[in-house]
Amino acid sequence: MSEPHRVDPWRFAGRFIARVLGAGIPDAPSVADVPFTPVAKPLAASRVALVSTAGLSRKGEPPFDMDFERKNPTRGDPSFRRLPADTTTGDVEANHLHIDTGYVERDLDVALPLDRLHALARTGEIGSVAPTHYSIMGYQGNDTSALVGQSAPAIAEAMRREEVDLALLAPV
């Protein structure tokens, strides 16, 4: 047996980014009250929704506001977007000033794997694909209040209305 793989969080970050981001992160868990909702159903009976931080919006809808961040480098657009389950690569644009968005604009499934999720629903590995999925823009700088106080509760409420059983979130 080989040693289990331990993920190096900084492998691709580069020294500067690792130093800037790593400076504020404790060596061990520091938060006592972590919310936890037990899973109620097997995966094969569960409705699954995805959330990406890639700043994805449907073409023709207002995109995430990059000019706001350009004028205020320590802040980021805290809004969110809804993405219907039939959204495909050609339907979206990505706005995020901290990554190369070219990859997700060429293949949505690198960050929001709706095609892959539909495939798991067809084979019965999951119960169903939620009608709606979500994107935020991951960079919030030093003010997360609107994301946590407004966008996240609105996403949670929308998921509850659509009877989502499990939410898979993927930062980029």
CB of 87 to another protein, least distance (A): 15
Number of residues that bind another protein (CB under 8 A): 89
Pick out residues in 138-167 that bind another protein (CB under 8 A). Answer: 138-139, 141, 144, 147-148, 151-153, 155-157, 159-160, 164-167
Helix (H) or strand (E) holding 133: strand 132-136
Paired with 128 in beta bridges are: 47
Q: Which of 31, 29, 84, 37 is nearest to 61 (CA)?
A: 84
Q: What six digits make up the tokens of 32? A: 């006592």
By the 8 A CB rule, do 146 and 120 touch? no
Pick out residues in 70-129 that bind another protein (CB under 8 A). Answer: 70, 72-74, 96-101, 103-104, 106-107, 109-111, 113, 115-117, 119-120, 125-126
CB of 48 to another protein, least distance (A): 7
Give 48 or 60: the residue with its C-beta nearer to another protein. Answer: 48
CB of 132 to another protein, least distance (A): 13
**Gap between the terminal Cα atoms of the chain:** 32
Pick out residues in 3-22 that bind another protein (CB under 8 A). Answer: 4-13, 16-17, 20-22
Q: How far is CA 136 from the centre of its chain?
A: 7
Q: Pattern 30-69, binding to another protein, x per CB under 8 A?
A: xxxxxxxxxxx-xx--x-x--x-xx--------------x
By the 8 A CB rule, do 76 and 69 touch? yes
Calculated CA dihedral for residues 105, 110, 114, 118, nearest 10 degrees? 140
CB of 76 to another protein, least distance (A): 9
Give 61 or 157: the residue with its C-beta nearer to another protein. Answer: 157
